[in-house]
Chains A and B, each alone.
Chain A
Amino acid sequence: MPLWTWFGIKKGRATTGWPESAGSDGQEGVLGLPKLNADLCTEGAQGCTNCVASCPSGAIALNGAGDQEQSIDLDYARCVGCQLCTETCPSGAFSPSDDWAFGVRDRADLSRLGRPAAPDKKLEEKWQKSLAGFGHSLHIRHVDAGSCNGCESEISALLNPFYNLHRLGIFFTPSPRFADLLLVTGPVTEVMREPLLRTFEAMPEPRWVMALGTCATGGGTNGGGYACHQGLDGILPVDIWLPGCPPNPAAIIEALLLLLDRRPQQVHGGRHDA
């Protein structure tokens, strides 16, 4: 009969020090969402729309062919990171990247059309004020509103010994009555809409909502049609938007700490900090 306690002690420590001290984030080689360098787009003016045509989730918009000033935008709220645009672009305007910490407070920060590429000091101060008085650990109620189970797989990974989420003072709670944060995945199927809203209503204030994964931030490839909404927009008041398909565990940690103002936002006006 094995002694599991001894088994565990012999194994030693698996937990990373990241992000609060030295250690790996565990995402070596993992691709993030594509990087857009609009200046490199030379073919767009000649009528090239490869990127728009290739995008399976309608995340790319190209305006102003001909005389008008040309603008190209990638709405990360809808991007599933499939990398098709990086393969089809003839001029290298889209390239693969390891940018994955895409959590933002304002959905407009996920697109170039919404905001300038700099932190919004006013919004940050307002956020810090709203956190005043919230001094305890963060308790999360997760609700799956129609995910492919990819997001759940990565959320569950937060509890493995490597990420060990509890060390950061963040916990999952069975009941919405004890929850501070509603963590929602999936594009929101219509049959899940009411249960989702009732879960939110059951939460005490102050309460926050995070849209996790591209389905929840903008519908992705799985939103719309007879069964689905296009994510949380218009259904719940969202405090943190985290696209990614799925966002990796480190990206989820970054977003949770962004909510608590323990990490800075890394994406502004559709651009990831260098």
Chain B
Amino acid sequence: MPHPEPPIERPFQMQILRPDELLDAAQTLLADHDVGLGDTPSAHGRMQCAYALRDADGKLSVRYIVSQGANRPWGIWSVDAASGSLPSLANVLPLLGWYEREIQDLYGITFTDHPEPHPLVLHEGFIPSKPPLQTGFDPKAEPIRGHAEPFAEANMVGRDIQRLPFGLIRADVVESAQFVFHYIGEGILHYHPRLFYKHRAMEARFEGVPISTACVLAERVSGVDSVAHELAFSQAMEAALGWQAPLRAQVWRVILAELERLYNHLHYFGHLAKTTTLKVAEAEGIWLEEQVKQINGRLTGSRFLRGVIVPGGLRRDLDATGLAADLNALQPQIEDYLNTLANTRSYLDRLLTTGVLPRQVAFDQGATGPIERASDLDRDLRRDHGYALYPDLQFAVPTATEGDADARARVRDQEIRQSLHLIRQALNQLEPGAIRRTESTIDPAIDGMGLGWAEAVRGGLIYAVHWDAKAERLTRVKIKEPSFSNWRVFPFTVHDSNMMDYAINEASFGLSVAGADR
């Protein structure tokens, strides 16, 4: 059986840019993409995220992570930000808008000509005179006290225009966030999701901690994405340290990641059925989810599959006995459920043409995961930047062209079937062997930086880690979280839609607030 080939070169290329070279670089990236949008977008470049980095002397720089196309190394642009100001790229690459605002809030670097330069992560009324991460993070510090103040929002005044602030305490067991609608009758004129009530400074918590603690933190950024976070973090650490996880660990990583996709997607269908008022279909969806969570519990001791993946491999070995039988028993039920749902006219009526996300908007605003794939952007990190055992396995990447709620549901429907297929293939490759290897089999990164990624349930997840080899502590971790990306995209499908479709549209995106807020 072929073992995944060790990467010969580093999985990313660093490029030092001057601030005045930034706009040109962004334009070039866009030009490259324009060529590609016609055929296979995964073959072409795309900006992923930007983050601020403080070096040992306290000097600030900004790093941009760029996907340079499938199976090509990632690009990293590093730009000195000691002057405290950089040109904003948000007018060229709109998906950067939120990253720049986050950097502005937390590190105090300003971005000139930013189209929406308002606070994002910190709320008005809670903004300290000194940006909280400019000089360092103290987990023992008292929180910045404040009182909520008005925030920048669309200025919509006119006869019959109503403003509805929905939440943040709102019906159901939901995550905290506020949604502000401007509407006339049933028609929504403008929609503004106010997030970051749950901002917990998760990235900053990694600063100064050893690997073992960081593993516990990574699993607690977005609980229902625990495996993807642990996997992306572990792979980033392995890149920084030159470690390679043994084969058995790679096999288990795939199984765990696909089990996570399975219970999340089943929950998604239960929720979608709820918003389309199908009580039995709701109950069946969340009952199937529960059954997968119980399988998770029996397999790993954790219903969220936590505490298994670690840099270098696995923390402890798992016993696959019974897993195949459990999934075999569940598969016909899952397929029957999905087929029945897909034949329910009242359900389809509510999903078809609801919340359309055009392909160009999906690309420009940074849509990822099932959301972008339902808008005809054929990208998937498991295939385009293969990791773990994925390059050795056969799987399809489902896509759709319509970009509506139905397309998003169909993509997830197919992904569930692919996940079951992947787990079965991986189980066939499970052979006894070592589960962890913690020596450098390739040269560790000189600057201690590592990049790791995973195609999480909700889309592309990237961890950039900065490791101090002497102190054996992390100095900085950036998490490019798929829900952060997709929350930015979501409003574009709500403007000019109607109130009755809102809940269905939101459910069809399947977002996590905890992941976005971090």
Contact = CB atoms under 8 A, between A and B. Distances in A.
- Asked if A and B are interacting partners, one says yes
A36 interface: no
6 contacts: A7-B280, A7-B284, A11-B284, A14-B287, A82-B306, A225-B140
Nearest to A162: B290
A100 B213 CA distance: 22
Contacts of B213: 56, 221
B298 to A, nearest CB: 4
Nearest to A82: B216
B224 A150 contact: yes
A244 to B, nearest CB: 11
A245 to B, nearest CB: 7
A248 B204 contact: no
A152 B286 contact: no
Interface string B277-306: 011110110110110011001110111101
B139 interface: yes
Interface stretch (A26-34, A66-74, A116-124): A26-34
Given A149-B222, A222-B200, A225-B138, A190 B145 contact: yes
Contact of B173 (A148, A152, A187, A228): A152
Contacts of A145: 176
A160 B286 contact: yes
Nearest to B264: A153
Interface in A69-102: 80, 82-84, 87, 96
B190 interface: no
With most chain B CB atoms within 10 A of its CB, the pick from A143, A189, A229, A248 is A189
Given A7-B284, A156-B286, A191 B197 contact: yes
Given A189-B199, A225-B201, A199 B169 contact: yes
Interface in A224-241: 224-229
Interface stretch (B181-189, B338-346, B495-503): B338-346
A203 B314 CA distance: 47
A146 interface: yes
Interface string A143-167: 1111111111111110111110000
Contact of B143 (A87, A152, A189): A189
Interface of A: 1-2, 4-5, 7-8, 11, 14, 26-31, 54, 56-57, 80, 82-84, 87, 96, 141-157, 159-163, 172, 174-176, 186-187, 189-192, 194-195, 199, 220-222, 224-229, 245-246, 248
Interface residues of B, number: 76
B153 interface: no
A226 B126 CA distance: 10
A148 B176 contact: no
Contacts of A82: 216, 306-307
Contacts of B287: 14, 160-162
A151 B343 contact: no
A226 B298 contact: no
**Binding site secondary structure of chain B:** loop
Contacts of B344: 1-2, 4
Given A225-B205, A246-B223, A148 B514 contact: yes
Nearest to A1: B345
A176 B169 CA distance: 9
Nearest to B128: A226
Query: Which 3 residue pairs spanning A and B have beta carbons closest together?
Result: A150-B223, A174-B171, A31-B301
B141 interface: yes
A152 B290 contact: no
Contacts of A14: 287
Contacts of B222: 148-149
Contact of A221 (B126, B220, B303): B220
**Binding site secondary structure of chain A:** loop
B382 interface: no
Contact of A31 (B168, B294, B302): B302
Contact of A56 (B128, B147, B209, B281): B209
Contact of A189 (B132, B200, B283): B200
Contacts of B123: 191
B147 to A, nearest CB: 7
Interface string B138-173: 111101111110000000000000000000111111
B68 interface: no
A1 B340 CA distance: 8
Contacts of A187: 200
B77 interface: no
B144 A144 contact: no
With most chain A CB atoms within 10 A of its CB, the pick from B132, B306, B512, B513 is B306
A28 B298 contact: yes
A152 B141 contact: no
A28 B201 contact: no
A29 B173 contact: no
Contacts of B280: 4-5, 7-8
Contacts of A192: 176, 197-198
A152 B216 contact: no
A28 B300 CA distance: 11
B129 interface: no
Given A8-B280, A248-B303, 12 more contacts: A2-B344, A30-B302, A148-B514, A149-B223, A152-B223, A159-B173, A161-B290, A194-B148, A199-B169, A221-B216, A224-B141, A226-B144
Contacts of B144: 190, 226-227
A227 B513 contact: no
A147 B297 contact: no
A11 B336 CA distance: 12
B289 A151 contact: no
Interface string B85-127: 0000000000000000000000000000000000000010010
A156 B303 contact: no
Nearest to A160: B286
A259 B223 CA distance: 26
B143 A227 contact: yes
B427 interface: no
Contacts of B223: 147-153, 246
